[in-house]
Amino acid sequence: MSAYNYIHHYHDVLIVGAGGAGLRAAVAASEGGASVACLSKVPPTRSHTVAAQGGINAALGNREADDWHWHMYDTIRGSDWLGDQDAIAFMCEQAPGAIIELEQMGMPFTRDENGLIYQRAYGGQKTQYGKGGQAYRACAVADRTGHSLLHTLYSQALRHKVEFYIEYVALDLLMDEHNNCLGLVAWHIETGDLHIFHAHTTILATGGYGQVYASTTASTICTGDGNAMCLRAGIALQDMEFIQFHPTGLYGSGILITEGARGEGAILKNAHGERFMERYAPDSKELASRDVISRAMMQEIHGGRGCGKNADHLYLFLDHLPPGLIESKLPAIREITSTFARIDISRDPIPVLPAVHYTMGGIPCNSQSQVLTVDGKGNEHTVPGLVAIGEASCTSVHGANRLGCNGLLELVVFGKAAGQQAANHKQTRHKPLSDATLEPAMTRFDSLRHKNGATRPRQLRKELQQVMQHGASIFRNQALLDNAERQLRLIWNAYQADLKISDKSLIWNNDLMEALETDNLLRQAVVTAVSAKERKESRGAHWRDDYPVRNDKDWLKHSLGFVDDNGHVHMQYRAVRMAGLEPKTQAVLSFPPEERAY
């Protein structure tokens, strides 16, 4: 596209995203001797990882005896058996070492009375393969764990001379005719320049797409840009129907109230003052899995037992907890509720309602984080030069439902491994880039800039969020999902035919930024709705009123959703990897499906 001048950069490893996953990979690749570029559309320390509160899991056993095999079992049970067991085994086995590494990098973990790393209780985690007592596995920095993690890793990345490209927006992958990824093209919003990054390995660490919903704990930047780049490159996204609702979003704003609060003893009550979780999960109560609690809360509200004048939320009580505990373990929750709800948690309950929190689906990967694609005959291939990590990826360690505190763990374990592998794949020369490789990305960008219809991108973004909030929510059925798909089609058509971009410049053009993100959200919304419509069973976070039972015979498989440029979705499926390896002995480890009760 001759209308634009490009600035070229050549690196061994290109990382898109400076959240926990991207930064951990950057440090590892750089330690491995690679030249590393790290792109971020916001300053690195504003990546969504900064908002993580509760903790990061590892079977350190500092409080009660623990074992990474129990952690593995809990993760598989939490995933409702959809998680890939080889990747889960790797993550859980690596976890204790990963925490010690973070500590040695300077992460200021909260300590117990013996000076060991403090570990709190989190939902869905037990000892003895689910048969023992509550596990204490979540290592935390008070309730600001993500903030500490991100700042620690950013300091390390600066120390390792990673080259940061900040406020660069990745537009599209550059794929050659053999489906190799050669790098990508990005727009620098500060100067308006376009940049081409050539790399031997491109690592997507672009985070989740929680912004597909209206009520979410995810930041406004969580638009799944890397996922959408894959869709445009003809790569399907996996398990997109699995959307995690966090039980305790602050009523009204959806701001997260960490599960760590319940881990420290907070309890949920309905309008009758009843601790209703005793009925739904008699054993684990408020520490059941997130999908189980979110559904229970909605059933309370639908049953007329909601709190407040509209009976549309529930209460989380912390007033029985010792003030010293709140000071040392939950200071941010005290601050958030005081600022945003004018509540004193030592006295008042917190009004809460489930909010979208985590997107289990994403870019399909094997346990080495290499991106996978499937051809028309159903054969699986890796995409040379392309790797995905963090919330953008579907490796899949979370399957149908993520356990709290396994998200941050995934970032550092797979981030490190991906960075190391990328450093090992250094080559001497970059593959040449043809005009044909660049053309699709730039045609899309250029035509978007000149859209001159009547509808602002912001309006379409809001509409699609509402459609998903109502049509593909905690409880789903065929009619709701059919309707969501129809409405998304109208939004798709409006985007194609009637979009208006008023600002024609390339410098700080928020209008264009919004249009790019809305395009990304729309593609993922359509795949999410269709994947949910096609999966005719209930598993983990995907609940169908019309198919309320898990059906392993027909549905113990990953969904793959492709979308074409007209918004039509095509589904394929791939097998779940049901076994992992014991690292020391290479013995096979496998947990076959069981009934999932808490």
Ligand X SMILES: Cc1cc2nc3c(=O)[nH]c(=O)nc-3n(C[C@H](O)[C@H](O)[C@H](O)COP(=O)(O)OP(=O)(O)OC[C@H]3O[C@@H](n4cnc5c(N)ncnc54)[C@H](O)[C@@H]3O)c2cc1C
Catalytic residue positions, numbered: 290
User: In this chain, which of 79, 125, 202, 206 binds ligand X, going by CB under 6 A?
Assistant: 206
Cα distance from N-terminal residue to C-terminal residue, the chain: 57
Do residues 518 and 496 touch, judged by C-beta distance below 8 A? no
Positive/negative CA dihedral, 525, 174, 87, 578: positive
Whose Cβ is closer to ligand X: residue 36's or residue 222's? 222
Q: What is the DSSP letter of 559?
A: E
Q: What are phi and psi of 175, to 5 degrees?
A: -110, 130
Q: Which stretch binds ligand X (CB under 6 A): 14-22, 58-66, 342-350, 364-372?
A: 14-22
- Tell the smallest beta-carbon distance from residue 413 to ligand X (Å): 11
- Tell the smallest beta-carbon distance from residue 584 to ligand X (Å): 27
Does 56 bind ligand X (CB under 6 A)? Our answer is yes
Burial of 104 (0-12, 13-18, 19+ CB in 10 A): exposed
Does 237 bind ligand X (CB under 6 A)? Our answer is no
Q: Which stretch binds ligand X (CB under 6 A): 126-134, 399-407, 426-434, 547-555?
A: 399-407
Amino acid in position 220 = T
User: In this chain, which of 74, 86, 172, 225 binds ligand X, going by CB under 6 A?
Assistant: 225
Q: What is the DSSP letter of 544?
A: E
Which residues lie below 8 Å from residue 14, measured CB to CB, with a gap of 6+? 36, 37, 39, 183, 184, 197, 199, 201, 202, 203
Give the per-residue contact string, 92-131, with ligand X (x = CB under 6 A; - = no).
Answer: ----------------------------------------
**Can you tell me the distance from the alpha carbon of 206 to that of 395, in angstroms, rounded to the nearest whole number?**
14
Whose Cβ is closer to ligand X: residue 142's or residue 491's? 142
Closest by Cα among 233, 348, 353, 259 to 300: 353
User: In this chain, which of 61, 362, 390, 561 binds ligand X, going by CB under 6 A?
Assistant: 390
User: In this chain, which of 96, 123, 130, 146 binds ligand X, going by CB under 6 A?
Assistant: 146
Q: State the number of binding residues for ligand X (CB under 6 A).
A: 46
Q: What are phi and psi of 184, to 5 degrees?
A: -160, 170
Closest by Cα among 482, 457, 523, 536 to 172: 523
Does 262 bind ligand X (CB under 6 A)? Our answer is no
For helices 406-424 and 20-31, what crossing angle results, to 10°? 30
User: In this chain, which of 32, 55, 457, 540 binds ligand X, going by CB under 6 A?
Assistant: 55
- Tell the smallest beta-carbon distance from residue 321 to ligand X (Å): 19
Whose Cβ is closer to ligand X: residue 363's or residue 576's? 363
Whose Cβ is closer to ligand X: residue 259's or residue 463's? 259
Whose Cβ is closer to ligand X: residue 258's or residue 373's? 258
- Token match 């028309």: residue? 376
Give, as ranges, the residues between 346 and 375 that touch ligand X (CB under 6 A): 357-358
Residue number of the CB atom closest to ligand X: 19
User: In this chain, which of 72, 173, 218, 526 binds ligand X, going by CB under 6 A?
Assistant: 218
Q: Please report, for residues 228, 394, 584, the alpha-carbon distance to residue 364 in angstroms, rounded to integers and kept in the order given.
A: 13, 5, 27
Binding site for ligand X (CB under 6 A): 16-22, 39-42, 44, 47-49, 51-56, 145-146, 168-170, 205-208, 217-218, 221-222, 225, 256, 357-358, 390-392, 405-408, 411
